[in-house]
Structure 1
Amino acid sequence: MKKTSFPSLLCAVTLASATLAGCGSAKQPTASTTATQPAQTAKGSLAWSPCTGLTGPDGKPAPPDPAIECGKLAVPLDYAKQNGERIDLALIRVKASGDRLGSLVFNFGGPGGSGVDLLSMTAKTFAGLGARYDLVSFDPRGVERSAPVKCGSVEKWTSVDPASDKIEKAIKEFAATCAKISGKLLPHVGTVNAARDLDRIRAALGDERLNYFGMSYGTHLGAVYATQYPKKVGRFVLDGALDPTVTFAERAKTQVAGFKQAFEAFSADCLKQGCDLGADPATVRKNVEKLLYGLRDKPLKVADRKLTKGLATTGVVAALYSKLTWPLLEQATAAATKGDGKLLLALADSYNGRKPDGTYSTLMTSVLAIDCVDSAERPSPAEIDRVERATAKIFPLMQSGGLGSICAHWPVPGSDESKKIDATGSAPILVIGGKGDPATPYAWAPKLAGLLKTGVLVTYEGEGHGAYLSGSSCVSRLVDAYFLTGKNPGANATCPAA
């Protein structure tokens, strides 16, 4: 397989990994996560000024750009107490380069992905839309610059093998630390409140209706917004659709099956181009399994750290999200089999949000906080064990109990309110599903379109998580036409693999 440098595809990993809990939106290991925000001028209004401390797609500090601005908006911590304590949401805006239609607000997924970081790094990717729209994104509540959820050392949990007998203790300690540091915030970080925040953002931007592009978890946020405010829905596109009604067990089994399919597609592609991992699919899988299980007993030393089985598995999963990052998967696993774990550890760090100084972004903590508040499920140990055994039979490389193993010990209760989706009365909402999407499997797209009642299903026949950023000119033309002209592709539109 063609060799690829890590920096050249790091942005692809960042975007491809923006998804569900346990599969969080990746942060670049070399990216700064501080951006100076200006003061807000008045309640409900936005003051914009130049951003500082942002990072470019190459991971280096980005020079000031007069077209990119940052701001903040105060919203209630608890919407039941409108006049109570407030938190600040961090926003970023890339001003339209041509005749302006309005604002287009992005959520790149996670939950827990920093919209400020991701839009600053990828604005040129959306230049076609940016010709007519101000491109806007934000850090949702609990994320990075917007009242971030903090839970101490993330690595104490992420480095543990999820199939080991040490994982439950690590999870309990992690959850207890979350309660100690962020207990006041935890009950209020769910998607229902984030949707309310989204409407405050719409109003502060001066838009009568919200134009919105949600990816992965962002499809859930968009669906909840459309349910709460159907008459305020403008042009909506939900790409990499999540079915919010699935249980933790259903989600775990479906995703593990999706990643098994992605690994098989990776193996076939690797073999076509000359694969360093083996001469046939069975050998490729056997060698990766041997690597991972060998790390369980004998982690690889990488500088002053260790590449454990848990971290190595995370690195493998991160690279399976997109066909663009498959070359990294081959390089990283082949190198690790020879004793060099640097690249595989870097992939895991990218996925987990580890910064160059050894600290972590709020990525993994906000993923857990949001998803656990979004569900009333609190599975028993016996239920979690059943899921572990079931997923191990599907794909041993990614044995997982899903979110249930975390949320079973979460310090605040959850609610199923965000699972209730019905956008009757809204404008048409494009819902895109990919046949080869490992993280949000295709079956979830028609399900979400049906729940919305106003959903228009678009099918992408190719690989990878999310269709718009897959390289498909068909998908990009269809989506751009909808945002720019309002052209509805009609029911059951299909785009071939890129």
Structure 2
Amino acid sequence: MRRVTAAALLLAATAGCSTAPAEPASGPSADSTAASDQIAWGPCTDIKRPDGEPPARQDASVRCGKLAVPLDYAKPDGEKLDLALIKLPATGGQSKRLGSVLFNFGGPGASGVDTLDQAAKALTALRARYDLISFDPRGVERSSGVRCGDGAEMDKFVALDTLPPDDETDREVAAANKRFAALCQQNSGKILPYVGTVNAARDMDRMRDALGDPKLNYVGMSYGTQLGGVYATLFPKNVGRMVLDAPLDPTVTFEQRTLAQTRGFQKAYESFLRACVKETCALGKDQATANTNVENLLNQLTAQPLKVGNRELSQGLASTGVAAALYSELTWPFLEEALGAALKGNGEALLYLADSYTGRSPDGSFSTQMTSFPAITCVDTAERPDEATLRRTEQAALKISPLFGSEGSGGLCRVWPAKGSDEARHVNATGSAPIVVVGGKGDPATPYEWAPKLTAQLKTATLVTYEGEGHGAYLSGSKCVQGLVDAYLIDGKVPAKGASCPAA
């Protein structure tokens, strides 16, 4: 986590599966929208990998399309916004097809269009029975993505140092936040008031209707759990089979969220160090030595960033790279290599991790990951913390973790140009079909404590506990979790109360 964002980006979800697109499917089902002209499906022409490059191969059956929805739902016949969608048609034949499953992979700000294509091979069993659908939510990438300056401006913003935690650093961050917010208003001011989760949930019901599905079958991860919860609150009778993985507790304040996530990342970092020193570790012979070496590296980068080609690895970018790799236990070996190389003066791998987190492509352009996140987060809350609250939060977070401690997203929301609302913070799915919530004990970004809380708020939910590490369980490689989830989505079998799965 950096000062700017605690976004639960999809690096974790995709780390455990091949990023190469699936082979062309055999025997795709009939088009589920044949009776509807609302979505014009066609070939996908701009799919990107996490590094911004096009995939090496493309599944010829994958289709992309657009759906027009109201920019402002208070004016349903007014200006429209085009939402970008992607469809992976079911492979098991029309007689076995159960309908569609809609995915949101989190963020807020992750591109569902790109991510579903990357995650296809991990979803083979589900795809045999369903069309797999995802989308770029309003304000994200192809769906009027929020932009806040050019690549050079974004490079400055994401490279901000957070050490040392003193008045000068706080002033620099505050000035950068104001500049960033002003650029967002300048470039995307028209859409900023309308990118919140309540509107995104309304969009999902438009998608359900356009897809021809009487009920919405849905898998939401991280932020996608809040989106699913809001949908189930607005449209409980339209809920089909819904799974919420790596859940958020939407009722927490920005201060509570910041401190809980700081504890989560610090816990994951300590687990990483323990795993590293069990064998020969490039960071040190024991956990204390390894931690000291990492802290010294970050302090050195504050004074003297590492040259990486025509760029620099700053302390801020290095911290971001570490956080990025902690989202999944599968990326811990790469983090060890990256930190070990940086200790020897080579910051290339750590910079690559940071770029994956911030959505920076090799050509210097950025996705909307870092811009959509505050745009959605800040309109989803009426909180606008004062300076004293920000400093109190920062000091408490730094006591938990010198590496990940920060003021959270509060600093940006304080100067955000669009008003916020608390409507998306209250969920209650009374009257909906059963909902399955999956929470991970070792999740750094959405701590396990939030899972039972969201389960209780939704009224109709059942909790599954995953004992392993990483952000998100369904795509973690756990056969147990995937089996329970698929059994619900495919056969309608609700997991038993108190169900749990061991670490993968």
Residue of structure 2 in register with 1:91 after alignment: 85
Structure 1 residue 120 displacement after superposition: 1.1
Secondary structure of 1:469's partner? coil
CA distance, structure 2, for counterparts of residue 100 and residue 55 of structure 1: 28
Structure 2: runs of 5+ lacking an equivalent: 21-32
Select which of 113, 128, 142 maps to 2:110. 113
CA distance, structure 1, for counterparts of residue 5 and residue 176 of structure 2: 17
Residue of structure 1 in register with 2:495 after alignment: 489
Residue of structure 2 in register with 1:22 after alignment: 6
Confirm or deny: 8 A CA contact 2:36 2:212 kept in the other structure.
no
1:376 matched to 2:382? The reply is yes
1:336 matched to 2:330? The reply is no
**Which runs of structure 2 are paired with 1:112-261 in the superposition (5 Å)?**
112-152=109-149, 153-162=153-162, 163=165, 164-165=169-170, 166-261=172-267
Structure 1 residue 26 displacement after superposition: 5.1
Select which of 38, 42, 49 maps to 2:42. 49
Deviation per CA, 1:217-259: give whole Å up to 9, x if none: 0000000000000000000000000001101110010000011
Confirm or deny: 8 A CA contact 2:36 2:210 kept in the other structure.
no
Residue of structure 1 in register with 2:294 after alignment: 288
Please tell me the residue identity of whatever aligns with 2:47: L
Secondary structure of 1:67's partner? coil
Secondary structure of 2:403's partner? helix
CA distance, structure 2, for counterparts of residue 44 and residue 62 of structure 1: 31
Confirm or deny: 8 A CA contact 1:300 1:307 kept in the other structure.
yes
Select which of 461, 465, 472 maps to 1:459. 465
Please tell me the residue identity of whatever aligns with 1:138: F
Structure 1 residue 56 displacement after superposition: 5.9
**Which runs of structure 2 are paired with 1:463-482 in the superposition (5 Å)?**
463-482=469-488
Residue of structure 1 in register with 2:24 after alignment: none
Deviation per CA, 1:371-393: give whole Å up to 9, x if none: 00000000011110111110100
Confirm or deny: 8 A CA contact 2:242 2:435 kept in the other structure.
yes
CA distance, structure 1, for counterparts of residue 190 and residue 386 of structure 2: 26
Distance 1:339 1:319, change over 3 A: same
Confirm or deny: 8 A CA contact 1:26 1:352 kept in the other structure.
no
Confirm or deny: 8 A CA contact 1:57 1:122 kept in the other structure.
no
CA distance, structure 1, for counterparts of residue 10 and residue 301 of structure 2: 23
1:403 matched to 2:404? The reply is no
CA distance, structure 1, for counterparts of residue 220 and residue 340 of structure 2: 35
Deviation per CA, 1:5-56: give whole Å up to 9, x if none: xxxxxxxxxxxx9xx943342579xx99xxxxxxx99997111111113246
Deviation per CA, 1:321-374: give whole Å up to 9, x if none: 110000111111111111100000110000000012101011110001000000
Confirm or deny: 8 A CA contact 1:191 1:221 kept in the other structure.
yes
Distance 1:383 1:287, change over 3 A: same
Cα RMSD of the aligned pairs, angstroms, is 2.0
CA distance, structure 2, for counterparts of residue 44 and residue 84 of structure 1: 20
CA distance, structure 2, for counterparts of residue 307 and residue 413 of structure 1: 35
| TM-score normalised per structure 1 | 0.92
Structure 1 residue 60 displacement after superposition: 4.6
Distance 1:235 1:43, change over 3 A: closer
CA distance, structure 2, for counterparts of residue 201 and residue 118 of structure 1: 18
Distance 1:44 1:195, change over 3 A: farther
Confirm or deny: 8 A CA contact 1:421 1:451 kept in the other structure.
yes
Please tell me the residue identity of whatever aligns with 1:160: L
Residue of structure 1 in register with 2:23 after alignment: none
Confirm or deny: 8 A CA contact 1:25 1:113 kept in the other structure.
yes
CA distance, structure 1, for counterparts of residue 175 and residue 50 of structure 2: 38
Please tell me the residue identity of whatever aligns with 2:46: G
Structure 1 residue 103 displacement after superposition: 0.2
CA distance, structure 2, for counterparts of residue 466 and residue 276 of structure 1: 27
Deviation per CA, 1:148-192: give whole Å up to 9, x if none: 111003222111113423111111100011111111110000000
CA distance, structure 1, for counterparts of residue 494 and residue 349 of structure 2: 43
Residue of structure 2 in register with 1:77 after alignment: 71
Confirm or deny: 8 A CA contact 1:21 1:110 kept in the other structure.
no
Secondary structure of 1:385's partner? helix
Please tell me the residue identity of whatever aligns with 1:156: K
Deviation per CA, 1:431-479: give whole Å up to 9, x if none: 0100000000001000000000011010001111001112111101100
Q: Percent identity?
A: 59
CA distance, structure 1, for counterparts of residue 114 and residue 413 of structure 2: 27
1:265 matched to 2:271? The reply is yes
Distance 1:44 1:454, change over 3 A: farther
